[in-house]
Amino acid sequence: MKYLRQNKVWNYFAIGALIGAIFFIAIYGFGVLNVTNDSWLLTGRDLQQHYIGWKYYRASDWFFPLGLHDGLTYPYKVSVLYTDSIPLFAIFFKLLSPILPETFQYFGLFGFLCYVLNGGFASVLIARINKSKIFCAMGSVFFILSTPVLQRLFGLLSENSRHTSLAAHFLILGALGIWMYREKFKDYKKAALAYSILGVLCVLIQMYIIFIVGGIMCGYLLHCILKEKDWKRFYIVFGTFVLSVLFAFFIAGGFTDVLNAGGEGYGRYSANLNALINPYNYSTFFSARPWCYDQYEGFSYVGLGIIVLYLSCAVVLVIKVVKVGSLRKAHALFKEKYKRHRCGIIPLICIVAVFWGLALSTIVYWGERIVIHIFPPEKIGVLLNVVRSSGRFMWVILYLIMLYGLYLISRFVSNKTLQKVIVGVCVCLQLLDLFAPIKRIHAQFTSEAVEDERFIHDSFWTDKLGDYKHIVYYPLNSYGLYHMLQIGTKASYFDMDQNYFYMSRFFTQDIIEEQNKACQKLFKTGQLAEDTLYITNYYNAHKYKGNFYLYEVDNTIIAVKNPIEGLKPYNDVYISKEEPEIKLEFSYTGLGRAFAHNGWNSPDYTDTGMWTSNQSVIRVYSGGAKKVRISLEYEGGKRKGETVIKFNGKKKATIPDNRQSGVITFDTEVKETVSEKKYKGINWLFLNTEKTFKAKQENTIQQRAIYVKSMTVTYLE
């Protein structure tokens, strides 16, 4: 305790940590800290994925490397890292598993530590600018209530943005802290150890943050090179950091030939040019500004308090310039200051430019409008896909903006009391601005949690699923990620393994082909394993019908060796006298999605239908029917115009006003489907809206016409 009292850095850390703890409890309550309470983790999306990943890892045997388990990708082993289940906590608590209660979760504890450490490190950074403990305490609130942390930690059910481990922003602040307190790391060993520890923690908490921490470290090393020509430090610190990261990645089981190394989509998950001033749903006073689809990754709203802080700085700066007497003298003073600190300013400008450039990506948007579109060489594009969710690099810029605003007030305002008053007012404005979103978050996590069963709600999943030991998807990519997530949740109650799950990386093409070939042999011969539940698609259900028993449960097609009492037999998708009616839903899990050929806006997790755009096409298969009746149930959009419906090239009906909802029915002749793979005999239903409007760009509301919910095909002759 004597050391802590004497060490001022720890005193500042304790101040911020305490404030962080208070805000966490105020926002999320005590319920999430109950390690036996897992109901709030089963409410859907990423948070549920992380928890199920931990459950399977805990139940698995030990393997080496330590992070491996095989319950979700049987018979292959993958790391708990790829369900973003926070390997640091997962490995530690798996060691303690024998003495832990049957139901145990550590995600509430992790969230609490994020708030505590984010606040502690923020206060230490601010202390470098201003030694006042009150000033540091108030300033740390901006960092503790960082909008990306509010968005990411546990998030809201209404948003596709929960990714718990990404709230560990103390790793980013820690990297900045080593740079700002560089004189305390003069010893190469200290600097190397500090950044290596951060690198290891990044691997064991959230791999993506390693790119951010590594970038900040490069800025620090460039500062050392410019200031002291210290190349030795560069080699030691950078080399140690890389080796430590690789070692931790190996121990966590990250090296794998089962999963793809990268994904796709660099440029899609980017930041908008308005990211810092776009409140999305996180402001009491301001409404969301436009952005492009999936740019929630770059969400970095600074908040009203920071905006007013910079306005205050501008006012003070004007007063300072007036006191100096002229702009020329003021410019000379700034120029002199730049010369004194250029060794630190240049690296700072470099990392801001690099991070901002990566965040904006190769497709730069202002709102919904494309400003710049760059087409990089293919090899560079593949490399950039490693950091495809590049909008996250905006977080560094957000924190630098906060720090710089506090720095300007500390330097421009000489009166210490006035400094505190200005920052205090800005903190109050920040709290008022964030009050509405915080209230929504608080209401969600202090009310009764309900497991998300929107896709999997039939009693089969609780009463009869436990009769099987394995779940096998064939083909592997036949179902949506959130659909698999809910099936995997039900399977976790019965200690069933499965051959596929919702992970941050997907199987390699070789693994997919290997698994599919093995299942194809079983389906051809009808030699399904009695203890295995096979989940398949309509194509295989039609192709191999009669070889085994097929059922449809909650829009999920299951195949089993032996009959299951009480389940609805699966209806074939080829309309015929034997199958006189087919109903296809176009929801996220509906079978209709598989028949939506071209021109559709893909449904979101919560969607009960699909939006048409321009010319949207549906395939209809005939197993002998010559004439059918087709009924389309749809909801209207917001764009006026008409939709012309054609079937096999012939106009059949018209929806005169796309803003109206309803059902449209027509009779039509059909041709028998010979081979759907070769497109022989497929019947094409066209919904033509291209004359209604011209889309400004892809994936925007401007493209949407009508919202198709379902299609019913009835046999006539």
pLDDT higher than 90, residue 518 = yes
Q: Is residue 150 a contact partner of residue 441, using CB atoms and an 8 Å limit?
A: yes
Q: Which regions of 462-554 does DSSP assign to beta strands (E)? A: 470-474, 497-498, 532-536, 549-553
Give pLDDT, residue 15.
96
Q: Which amino acid is at 59?
A: A
**How far apart, in whole angstroms, are the C-alpha atoms of residue 700 and residue 473?**
33
Q: Which band of pLDDT confidence, cut at 50, 70 and 90, is reported for residue 691? A: low
Give pLDDT, residue 695.
40
- CA Rg value for the chain: 29
pLDDT per position as a tens digit, 230-244: 899 999 999 999 999
Q: Three-state SS for 414?
A: coil
Give pLDDT, residue 7.
61
Q: What is the mean pLDDT of residues 263-278?
A: 88
Give the chain's count of helices (H) and strands (E).
20, 20
Q: What is the DSSP letter of 1?
A: -
**How far apart, in whole angstroms, are the C-alpha atoms of residue 555 and residue 552?**
6
pLDDT per position as a tens digit, 354-384: 999 999 999 999 998 999 988 888 788 878 8
Burial grade of 86 (CB within 10 A; 0-12, 13-18, 19 or more): buried
Alpha helices in 393-452 (DSSP H): 394-412, 416-446
Give pLDDT, residue 690.
63
pTM of the model: 0.91
**How far apart, in whole angstroms, are the C-alpha atoms of residue 227 and residue 231?**
11
What percent of the chain is modeled with pLDDT above 70? 95
Residue 280 gets the label, from left (phi > 0), alpha (psi -120 to 50) or beta, of left
Which residue in 486, 431, 105, 108 sits closest to 282, CA to CA? 431
Q: What is the DSSP letter of 659?
A: T
Give every CB contact of residue 57 below 8 A, 6+ residues apart in sequence: 67, 69, 71, 80, 83, 85, 90, 94
Q: Which band of pLDDT confidence, cut at 50, 70 and 90, is reported for residue 440? A: very high
pLDDT per position as a tens digit, 99-148: 999 999 999 999 999 999 999 999 999 999 999 999 999 999 999 999 99
pLDDT per position as a tens digit, 302-324: 999 999 999 998 888 888 777 76
Alpha helices in 8-63 (DSSP H): 8-28, 45-59
Q: Is residue 367 a contact partner of residue 360, using CB atoms and an 8 Å limit?
A: no
Q: Is residue 535 a contact partner of residue 474, using CB atoms and an 8 Å limit?
A: yes
Whether residue 475 is preceded by a cis peptide bond, meaning omega within 30 degrees of 0, is yes
Please provide the DSSP assignment of 227-280 as one string: HH--HHHHHHHHHHHHHHHHHHHHHTT---SSB-S--S-TTTS---TTTTT--T
Alpha helices in 566-691 (DSSP H): none
pLDDT higher than 90, residue 253 = yes
Bridge partner residues of 646 (DSSP) = 651, 686
pLDDT higher than 60, residue 696 = no
